[in-house]
Amino acid sequence: MVLLPVVDLDPDLAALRPLGGFFLLRTTGAPPVRLPTLAQAYEGKRTDVYGDPLNFRVAKVAVGIQATEVRVAASVAHLGLAARLWSVALACAVLYDCIPDLDPRLLHWDPDGSAPDELRPAAVRPRPADSLSSQIVDEHLAPLEDALRARYRIAPGLLRGNAASALAGAAGQLDRWARAAGRTDAAERARALTAGLLRHPRLAGAGTLTGTAFRRRSCCLYYRVPGGGVCGDCCLVSPPQSSPGASSG
């Protein structure tokens, strides 16, 4: 593995801009006071604007994808938020050799927004790259999984698969950018970090990583929305012919 030199974590995270908005944080200006933190969302704290922020987000996703089953919308919402968190942290670890402090108590979230504006850190402060798994898996994905399982009765295997799939998706996009930009060092580091992260106890066994291709062992249920099919890394080859009450996870 080729190690990149340590680079200062600039306040604008400018090195992430070529990767697109999904890899960015909105770092300019203080977060609006109306926005809850992700910690408040995980805990189910009610807010004046959105009520329960996590429930608001799931309802918004349900409308957007025309989901008739709330657990399907919850799964898709979980996959999207996990992908955002992984994208920012993994790209920073690769390009800066450190990550921004994404403490859920300090990271504000607009459940009605979209990338890059929906995530607003109180400040851009560096943390060591080797804290990536504890920050994302332990501080974010674990309480998010607990909240979704309690509210929507989603299978833990499904959520584990979502988290792993989101990581692999972020890594794949980062790998493609790095190779197109001639940054083989960044591509190699992204692959090595991803392989290590997928060995975390909360992600281990969620799927198989072969090079940059990932095949999960569960289904996110997207095939159950109107016009939906199976995702590229799904364990299913084609949408099953099942009753509306069937589950996968």
| 246 belongs to a structural domain | no
Non-local (6+) Cβ contacts of 29 within 8 A are none
Is 194:171 a contact under the CB 8 Å cutoff?
Answer: yes
| 1 belongs to a structural domain | no
Here the tokens at position 54 are: 């996590």
Non-local (6+) Cβ contacts of 73 within 8 A are 58, 59, 61, 62, 65, 67
Query: What's the average model confidence in pLDDT over 29-46?
Result: 89
- pTM (2 d.p.): 0.91
| 218 belongs to a structural domain | no
Rounded alpha-carbon distances, angstroms, from residue 36 to 33, 51, 136: 8, 10, 18
| 237 belongs to a structural domain | no
Whether 7 shows a pLDDT value over 50: the answer reads: no
Provide the domain limits for residue 61. Answer: 14-206
Number of structural domains (the chain) is 1
CA atoms within 13 A on the CB side of 133: 14
Q: What does the pLDDT look like over 120-140, one tens digit per residue?
A: 998 889 999 999 999 999 999
Rounded alpha-carbon distances, angstroms, from residue 43 to 32, 51, 53, 55: 20, 12, 10, 11
Closest C-alpha among 60, 168, 70 to residue 118: 60
| 100 belongs to a structural domain | yes
Q: What does the pLDDT look like over 76-89, one tens digit per residue?
A: 999 999 999 999 99
| 224 belongs to a structural domain | no
Measured between alpha carbons, how far is 70 from 46 in angstroms, rounded to an integer?
Answer: 20
| 4 belongs to a structural domain | no
| 248 belongs to a structural domain | no
Query: What's the average model confidence in pLDDT over 191-197?
Result: 97
Here the tokens at position 213 are: 């291709």
